A and B are shown apart, each in its own frame.
Chain A
Amino acid sequence: MSGERIVDADVGVLGAGPGGMAAAKALAAAGLCVVVLDEGHRAGGQIFRQLPPGAPHAAIAEPPSHAHGHALIDGFGASKVELRSGASVWDAKPGRLWFEQDGASWLLRCKHIVLAPGAYDRCIPFPGWTLPGVLTAGALQVMVRGFGVVPGKRALVVGSGPLLLPTVTALASAGVEVVAALEASSRWRALRALPGVLGNGARLREALWYGRKLLTAGVKLQWGWTVFGVEGDGRVQRATIGKVDADGRPRRETARTIEVDVVGAGFGLVPSIEAGLLLGCASRLLPARGGHCLVVDAEQRTSVAGVYAVGEACGIGGAEVAMAEGELAAAAIVRLARGAPIAAGIARKAARERKAADALLRAFAPLPGLHELAQPETIVCRCEDVTLARAKAAAALHGGSHRAIKIGCRAGMGPCQARICGPSLQALACGRPELPMDLPVAQTPLKAVRSETILNAPEG
């Protein structure tokens, strides 16, 4: 029976965010057969979240750049691309993507793969962060913009980087009172982003739009502040906040307590490169771009023949970068398949957008001192319930390598495959905040799927 569940295409695209959609649309326009796989329920990826059809969506304010996103989604919907939503890709090799959809096991066979799997929020443990009601900043955006659900009455938003702004505006437009919005970076450090913003008209317009929105919502971004801890009986009721020094180290004497019922924490994004690693693609550590990134050449080719990568997987850059790189990857594939040359403007645009994004993100590189927020009894690995004290004991006993820490206390061995604790685990366990993040695990299944899906996987 598994024999019927095989799809063939010229190109398989993993991810229906801006990067994947832009690539797929351009490939289809050139007459190639394209199948896009995405675990989400609708096209759009993380940024251009769409509400379920029929849901009220009156109140949500969106920045000017989202007009591109809606145009892209409309064009994508009208194109000949086959989008498979709710499709979790769990295994991959060159020319093959295995996925589960509606509980069934499928195989996509294709000549080329475009990886556009995006990124996920970077977490930094702090006391009380396991309480229900503490979510990532991205999760709150998904709740409001993707489901029309109001997160709470009084919110605290903490973290670092440009994504705090859409989180605050999403909350404010949902009628949530944002009691405090805390950016851990200092104002002076953030000034480093200025050339990147001023040098790019679209980014400047976006920054001004967010500035105006915050002003009307009456929210003032506090620079050099963060959360020290959260408390409550079964869910968030209070948070302690305070100032941090230039490296992010908490200045405990500044602590004060506020009443909130929901906390959004976003300390930047981590590129999702697991599928690329599984395919054998080379990666390298670029801390300012969020961590380990897939290495691509000037035409978005990875180190593995027939595998391309675009958007956040090549380093955090935002939607404009993802779209430009998606079009570039498509153009490179079209040249191979049809002999049509790559228009010069396409490569230039991708390079320009990437440069602007790099300039912006330099101001928000992770602050090592934030690793001092966790206390001995703070859970660092949420899947395996490992406290900081246990992780430290494991590092002391077995050695401070990622592998030794994992084997010593099981941190990072749960179903999230260290996506949540991995970025901070070694720094925390060794008590050396400057240590870099672990290379993500490249193991199947990439996503938890039913055991039947693996057993019944079509061969190919």
Chain B
Amino acid sequence: MSASRLPGADARPVVAFSFEGQRVEARAGDTVAMALWAAGQPALRASSRDGAPRGVLCNMGICYECLVVVDGDTVRGCMQVVREGMDVRRGGKP
């Protein structure tokens, strides 16, 4: 995971959550989308047409390509900040 972060000491606490049932370690202040990117998981939702993977496009809340389901609510992964213990699933059709 450290290879996909800028070098240097990170003073932020680790925040752990689950993505599709697997444990992911993030840092406080990460969004779900950025934590998953840093963990090598760029595919966030499946397109409705052929199930093709989709991921972050705009990273600023405009495009809705990063939809994930957090504790049952469909949200934009690039705007949702990580919380300890949250359950994150891949999103589907927006």
Number of residues on chain A facing chain B (CB within 8 A): 53
Q: How far apart are A68's CB and chain B's nearest CB, in angstroms?
A: 22
Contacts of B48 in A (CB 8 A): 385
Residue ID in chain A nearest B74 by CB atoms: A448
Contacts of B79 in A (CB 8 A): 39
Q: Contact check: which of B4, B43, B57, B94 meets A415 at CB < 8 Å?
A: B94
B: contact size bracket? 35 or more
Q: Contact check: which of B8, B11, B43 meets A59 at CB < 8 Å?
A: B8
**A contact face: mostly helix, strand, loop, or mixed:** loop
CA distance A133 to B33 in the complex (A): 12
A59–B58 CB distance below 8 A: no
A54–B59 CB distance below 8 A: no
List A residues 54-104 near B (Cβ within 8 Å): 54-60, 86, 88
CA distance A144 to B48 in the complex (A): 30
B53–A235 CB distance below 8 A: yes
Residue ID in chain A nearest B13 by CB atoms: A54
List A residues 317-342 near B (Cβ within 8 Å): none
Binary A-proximity of B22-64 (CB < 8 A = 1, otherwise 0): 0000011111001001100011100111101111111111111
User: Does any Cβ of B come within 8 Å of A430's Cβ?
Assistant: no
Q: Contact check: which of B5, B6, B28, B76 meets A54 at CB < 8 Å?
A: B28
Residue ID in chain A nearest B11 by CB atoms: A54
B62–A130 CB distance below 8 A: no
User: Does any Cβ of B come within 8 Å of A205's Cβ?
Assistant: no
Contacts of A146 in B (CB 8 A): 59
B31–A147 CB distance below 8 A: yes
Given contacts A120-B60, A132-B42, A133-B55, contact A143 B34 (CB under 8 A): yes
A142–B60 CB distance below 8 A: yes
Q: How far apart are A167's CB and chain B's nearest CB, in angstroms?
A: 12
A138–B58 CB distance below 8 A: yes
Contacts of B16 in A (CB 8 A): none
CA distance A132 to B62 in the complex (A): 16
Q: How far apart are A170's CB and chain B's nearest CB, in angstroms?
A: 11
CA distance A46 to B34 in the complex (A): 16
Contacts of A40 in B (CB 8 A): 60
List A residues 1-49 near B (Cβ within 8 Å): 39-41, 46
Q: Contact check: which of A132, A234, A385 meets B49 at CB < 8 Å?
A: A385
Residue ID in chain A nearest B55 by CB atoms: A132
B6–A139 CB distance below 8 A: no
Residue ID in chain A nearest B94 by CB atoms: A415
Residue ID in chain B nearest A56 by CB atoms: B8
Binary B-proximity of A164-208 (CB < 8 A = 1, otherwise 0): 000000000011000000000000000000000000000000000
Contacts of B44 in A (CB 8 A): 132
Residue ID in chain A nearest B34 by CB atoms: A147
A56–B29 CB distance below 8 A: no
A133–B10 CB distance below 8 A: no
Q: How far apart are A294's CB and chain B's nearest CB, in angstroms?
A: 18
Given contacts A52-B27, A385-B47, contact A59 B54 (CB under 8 A): no
Contacts of A143 in B (CB 8 A): 34, 37, 56, 59
Q: How far apart are A206's CB and chain B's nearest CB, in angstroms?
A: 22
Q: How far apart are B26's CB and chain A's nearest CB, in angstroms?
A: 10
A60–B6 CB distance below 8 A: yes
Contacts of A414 in B (CB 8 A): 64, 94
Q: Contact check: which of B7, B57, B58 meets A56 at CB < 8 Å?
A: B7
Given contacts A132-B42, A420-B63, contact A58 B53 (CB under 8 A): no
Contacts of B50 in A (CB 8 A): 385
Q: How far apart are B81's CB and chain A's nearest CB, in angstroms?
A: 7
User: Does any Cβ of A come within 8 Å of B73's Cβ?
Assistant: yes
Residue ID in chain B nearest A42 by CB atoms: B29
Q: How far apart are A331's CB and chain B's nearest CB, in angstroms?
A: 29
Given contacts A149-B4, A415-B94, contact A383 B37 (CB under 8 A): no
CA distance A416 to B63 in the complex (A): 5
Given contacts A39-B79, A57-B8, A149-B38, contact A130 B31 (CB under 8 A): no
CA distance A133 to B9 in the complex (A): 27
Residue ID in chain A nearest B81 by CB atoms: A41
User: Does any Cβ of B come within 8 Å of A273's Cβ?
Assistant: no
CA distance A49 to B3 in the complex (A): 22
Residue ID in chain B nearest A133 by CB atoms: B42
User: Does any Cβ of B come within 8 Å of A136's Cβ?
Assistant: yes
Residue ID in chain B nearest A265 by CB atoms: B57
B58–A448 CB distance below 8 A: no
Chain B residues near A (Cβ < 8 Å):
3-12, 27-31, 34, 37-38, 42-44, 47-50, 52-65, 73, 76, 79, 81, 94
Q: A59-B6, A142-B59, A416-B63 are in contact. List 5 more A-B contacts (CB 8 A).
A: A55-B12, A150-B38, A234-B53, A383-B94, A450-B73
Chain A residues near B (Cβ < 8 Å):
39-41, 46, 51-60, 86, 88, 120-121, 123, 130-136, 138-140, 142-144, 146-151, 174-175, 234-235, 382-383, 385, 414-416, 419-420, 447-448, 450
